[in-house]
Structures are given as structure tokens and as C-alpha cells.
Amino acid sequence: MTWMLESGSGQSHGARLRALIEGGETLSVPGVYNPLSAMIARRVGFDVLYFSGAAFSASLGIPDIGLFTLDELTQAVRWMVRASDMPFIVDADTGFGEALNVVRTVKDLEDAGAAAIQIEDQVLPKRCGHLDGKTVISAEAFAEKIAAATGARKDTLIVARTDVRAIEGMDSAINRGVMCREAGADIIFPEAMQSEEEFRTYADAVGGPMLANMTEFGKTPYLSADRFRELGYQIIIFPVTTLRVANKITEELLTDIKNKGTQVDWLDRMQTRRELYDLIDYEGYQAIDSELSFEKRP
């Protein structure tokens, strides 16, 4: 049913995500990069989706170094949530400023429908978590941001991501995780762990709900969701996977069209017109239009 007719579940997205976590489920959470990909993920059967700052930046044709604005992010999240009616973990990078700015960030994104808001401890311009050359703020300043975020939210969950493992080592990363948990963070996200042992050590030391990043071509070994669960992680994100695959396939298709002047070899790999219309509920919008028509009123 189109979002223009849906009344919603009556439960906030934050409450839905919290219930899933408290229910003990292992959540495989794909990154999606536009409302249509979010709708596909919903149809496939995922329970939670991830709004990746890296994927959003790339979709705008810019690198993931904190160049988009809070208003741009908020509007994009609003469309994603509206189209899919799904709980989203939203990557808000460094929170768009200091603690006071984080308060506004949380309020704006919660108003847009975010189920969880992720804040990290890097210094702008930030870098991909699996690249070298990162710089982080002090542990105290980061805990201050997390406390500001938890104080500003209603029922949206707060995710504290720390990138300090690659800079100061595991002890510092564990210390920040503990400080953020004490500051009120609901979920701890240690970025760029490099082995199963590191993941296990971190989860054992910090405790509580944990998030692991199963990105491609990074420092983390490829592990399954079941294995992450055994290591103490309940939420596993795949932040840029869908965008990377879509881009690769699109490039191959366009190359074929450029070389052959036709797309016919790709027809059996395409979403049909009927399938697309069904996904976006084309008939639902037609029904709304019909109901609004004066000509058809008695």
C-alpha cells in the first residue's frame, strides 16, 4: 500500500528497533541508498535498514568526508522512511558539530523518522573508517556528544561509533566504549576491528548491544552474521554493498549499450515494468487519484 494511504503501525521506529534488540534477534542490516532500494529490502524481508553516510555521499557524487549538510541528510532520511516504513539506523557522521549541534541533529533526524542515530568520534574532515590517517576527538568530548544525543532523543536509539582502534589501539577503543555506554549509548559500534579475537575481546569488555560493520575491501575479515552473533554482536551492517553492486552492474550494462547499441541481452536480468509498478504500488496512487476525482463523485 502506498505511504499516502498507510496509517503506520502506531509504534515509533525507535520502539520497533528496541523491541527487535530486546527480543534477542540477530539483525542483518543492509545499507540502502535511495527510497526504491529501501522498498526492495523491505519486500525481501529485512527488519531494519541502514542509512550509510558513505553510500549517501557517493550517490551525490562526493567522497565520504562530511560534505553533505544536516538538512540534506534529514530530507533524504524522511523520504527513505516514508517510502519503506522501516526502522533505519542513520549514520550522522560526527553529529554536525559539537554537543549543542548534536542536540539539533538528533531532534531533526528523530522527527524525520530515524530509529537510531549513529555518532562517531572523528574530527572533520572525517574519513572512511577503514582508511588510514584518521583523527579523533578526546574521549571526554565524545562522551559529551553521546550524553547530549541521549538527552535530546525521545525514543530513538543512540549508536556510538569509535574509530580509535586504528589510532590508539584496543585499550583506548574499549575505554571509549565503556564511557559511551555510561553516557547513555544504546549500541556500541567499534569500527575497523581486524580479527575475530578483537571483536570478541571488545564485546566481552564493553557489554550490551553491539554493532559490527561487515563492509567490503576493508580491515575486517569477512564473517557471517551467525559468526558475529557468536562473537557478541547482535547488529551487523552491510553499509555500501547494494550501492557497489548496483554501480558495477549499471556500468556493465551501459558499456554493453555503448558497444552494441542495444539492451536486448539484458532483458532477462531486468526488473520488468510490471514488477516496478508493483513495487512502488502504482495502482495505489491511481486509486487515490480516482477517489479525489469530482467527476466520479455521486
- Answer yes or no: do 122 and 61 share one domain: yes
7 falls within a domain: no
pLDDT of residue 179: 97
- Answer yes or no: do 154 and 257 share one domain: no
- Answer yes or no: do 141 and 267 share one domain: no
Last residue of a domain, one of 241, 256, 282: 241
Higher pLDDT pick, 267 / 297: 267
Contact 233, 200 (CB under 8 A): no
- Answer yes or no: do 17 and 48 share one domain: yes
Contact 279, 36 (CB under 8 A): yes
Q: Look up the CATH number of the domain holding residue 215.
A: 3.20.20.60
- Answer yes or no: do 255 and 204 share one domain: no
CA distances from 56 to 33, 73, 90, 199 (A): 6, 8, 11, 27
Q: What is the mean pLDDT of residues 15-21?
A: 97
- Answer yes or no: do 237 and 251 share one domain: no
Count of Cβ atoms closer than 10 Å to residue 202 Cβ: 23
- Answer yes or no: do 175 and 255 share one domain: no
- Answer yes or no: do 134 and 276 share one domain: no
pLDDT digits (tens, 9 = 90+) for 191-248: 989 999 999 999 999 999 999 999 999 999 999 999 999 999 999 999 999 999 999 9
pLDDT digits (tens, 9 = 90+) for 156-171: 999 999 999 989 999 9
pLDDT digits (tens, 9 = 90+) for 129-188: 566 767 999 999 999 999 999 999 999 999 999 999 989 999 999 999 999 999 999 999
- Answer yes or no: do 198 and 258 share one domain: no
Residue 11: which pLDDT band, with cuts at 50, 70 and 90? confident
| Number of domains observed in the structure of the chain | 2
| 262 has pLDDT over 60 | yes
Cell of 183: 553516557
4 falls within a domain: no
Last residue of a domain, one of 198, 214, 241: 241
- Answer yes or no: do 253 and 217 share one domain: no
pLDDT of residue 298: 54
The parent domain of residue 267 ranges over: 247-292
225 falls within a domain: yes
Residue 125: which pLDDT band, with cuts at 50, 70 and 90? confident
- Answer yes or no: do 262 and 137 share one domain: no
Contact 191, 213 (CB under 8 A): yes
59 falls within a domain: yes
94 falls within a domain: yes
| 2 has pLDDT over 90 | no
2 falls within a domain: no
| 277 has pLDDT over 70 | yes
Report the phi/psi class of residue 82: left, alpha or beta, with left for phi > 0 and alpha for psi in -120 to 50: alpha
Residue 3: which pLDDT band, with cuts at 50, 70 and 90? low
- Answer yes or no: do 199 and 265 share one domain: no
pLDDT digits (tens, 9 = 90+) for 81-124: 999 999 999 999 999 999 999 999 999 999 999 999 999 999 98
**CB within 8 Å of 221: residues ≥ 6 apart:** 194, 195, 196
Cα(238)–Cα(38) distance, integer angstroms: 13
Cα(225)–Cα(243) distance, integer angstroms: 20
Would you list the DSSP string of the chain? --TTT----SS-HHHHHHHHHHTT--EEEEEE-SHHHHHHHHHHT-S-EEE-HHHHHHHTTS-SSS-S-HHHHHHHHHHHHHHH---EEEE-TT-SSSHHHHHHHHHHHHHTT-SEEEEE-BPSSP--TTSS---B--HHHHHHHHHHHHHH-SS-EEEEEE-THHHH-HHHHHHHHHHHHHTT-SEEEETT--SHHHHHHHHHHH-SSBEEE--SSSSS----HHHHHHHT-SEEEE-SHHHHHHHHHHHHHHHHHHHHS--GGGGGGSPPHHHHHHHTTHHHHHHHHHHH-GGG--
| 294 has pLDDT over 70 | no
Mean of per-residue pLDDT scores for the chain: 93
